[in-house]
Structure 1
Amino acid sequence: MTSSELAREALPQKIVRKIKHSLGPWGVFLEGFIRHPVMVGSIIPSSRFTIAKMLSRVKWDECKLFVEYGPGVGTFCRPVLDRLPRDGALIVIDTNPLFIDYLRRTITDNRFTAVLGSAADVEEIIRAQGHDHADYVLSGLPFSTLPEGVGPAIAAATHRVIRPGGAFLVYQFTSRARDFMARHFTRIDNDFELLNVMPCFLFWGWKDEEAA
């Protein structure tokens, strides 16, 4: 390949880098969606209204470990860290190395850990970080479009890892996620947030105290 051909090939990459730089975290999120649309599920991060409503039912004074699946560029991470006790921990899990690298570079809070891996392996992941259970688990993963068997595996592993009295927090563009949750969580609270692009369903699946 000649030097002129190399220059022509490099030009689109330069344009992409400039666009990403000008968009900041939105650019990273957009690239992540383009590379892995099935796993990301949305081209736009959640609104502040969705974040506030989704986190409003967490008993933060009782939260020592909060886990998030599919953190993207940290839309929920910073609000969670703002509410989390000083001795608490936030572990986020994503299969997209682009997001994990971005979060490791931009969030320096010592309570925060970003793990490249599958949410279906949440039990092994939190044990590797020195925990035996989670108080709350948050997910925006698109359950209805995940590969066959992945959604049920994540729901089952999540129920096992949450302590009695804790909850699985899920926000989705369709209500199908509730079907995955209902196989394990007998009490599920529902809500809906219009002020989001797109409007989304909110679910809180509570693990019974009797499970202790």
Structure 2
Amino acid sequence: MTTRQYAEEALPQKLKRRVKQFFGPWGVFFEGFVRNPVMVGSIIPSSDRTIAKMLGPVDWDECKLFVEYGPGVGTFCRPVLDRLRRDGALIVIDTNPLFIDYLRKTITDSRFTAVLGSAADVEDIVLSHGHEHADYVLSGLPFSTLPDGVGPAIAAGTWRVLRPGGAFLVYQFTAKARAFMERHFRRIDNGMEFWNVPPAFLFWGWKDEDADV
């Protein structure tokens, strides 16, 4: 291969780096969506209004462990860390190495852990990081497009890993996620946020205080 051919081959990579640098986290998020749209679900991160409304019901004084599925470029991570108690912990789980690598490089808070893995393995992940249960679990994963069996496995594992009184916080672009949640959570609060692209359905599934752990 000639020097000119090497230069021509390297040009797309240089262009990609410049685009990512120019757009910052939005560029990383867009690349993650292009690589795996089924798992990311949206082409842009959630709005500030969605974040505020989604996190509104959380009792931060009682939150020792907050877990997030599909954190992307950290749209929710920073607001969660801003609210989280000083001795709390945030574990995020994503199957996309691009996002996990980005988060590990850009979030240096000692309370933060980014795990490359599946949300279906949340119980093992929580235990392996020294916790017995999670207080809250947040998910923006597109349940309606996940591979067969993955959605039900995530919903079941989430219910088991939550402490009694904890909640599964879900934001989606269709209402289908509620069907997965209803199999385990008897109380589900509903909301909607139109100032989001696309508009988001919001669900808060609460684990009964007297539920078996």
- Tell me the residue number matched to 1:47: 47
Deviation at 1:13, TM superposition (A): 1.3
- Tell me the residue number matched to 1:98: 98
Deviation at 1:14, TM superposition (A): 1.1
Q: How does 1:77-92 map to 2 (within 5 A)?
A: 77-92=77-92
Counterpart code for 2:179:
D
Deviation at 1:2, TM superposition (A): 2.2
Aligned length: 212
- Tell me the residue number matched to 1:65: 65
Equivalent-residue separation in structure 1 for 2:199 and 2:99 (angstroms): 24
Counterpart code for 2:184:
H
Say if 2:118 is the partner of 1:118.
yes
Deviation at 1:210, TM superposition (A): 1.4
Deviation at 1:3, TM superposition (A): 2.0
Report Cα offsets for 1:15-42 as digits up to 9, x if no partner.
1111111000111101111111110001
Equivalent-residue separation in structure 2 for 1:56 and 1:72 (angstroms): 21
Counterpart code for 1:128:
S
- Tell me the residue number matched to 1:136: 136
- Tell me the residue number matched to 2:56: 56
Percent identity (aligned): 78
- Tell me the residue number matched to 2:152: 152
Task: Give the SS at the match of 2:192.
Answer: strand
- Tell me the residue number matched to 2:205: 205
- Tell me the residue number matched to 2:12: 12
Deviation at 1:9, TM superposition (A): 1.3
Deviation at 1:7, TM superposition (A): 1.3
Equivalent-residue separation in structure 1 for 2:58 and 2:126 (angstroms): 20
Counterpart code for 2:135:
D
Counterpart code for 1:31:
E
Report Cα offsets for 1:91-116 as digits up to 9, x if no partner.
00000011001101111110000000
Q: How does 1:170-189 map to 2 (within 5 A)?
A: 170-189=170-189
- Tell me the residue number matched to 1:74: 74
Counterpart code for 1:120:
A
Deviation at 1:66, TM superposition (A): 0.2
Deviation at 1:128, TM superposition (A): 0.6
Deviation at 1:194, TM superposition (A): 0.4
Equivalent-residue separation in structure 2 for 1:191 and 1:5 (angstroms): 55
Equivalent-residue separation in structure 1 for 2:90 and 2:13 (angstroms): 34
Counterpart code for 1:114:
A
Equivalent-residue separation in structure 2 for 1:16 and 1:130 (angstroms): 39
Equivalent-residue separation in structure 1 for 2:87 and 2:151 (angstroms): 31
Query: TM-score under structure 1 normalisation?
Result: 0.99
What runs of 5+ residues in structure 1 fail to find an aligned partner? none
Deviation at 1:76, TM superposition (A): 0.2
Equivalent-residue separation in structure 1 for 2:81 and 2:21 (angstroms): 25
Moved over 6 A (4+): none
What runs of 5+ residues in structure 2 fail to find an aligned partner? none
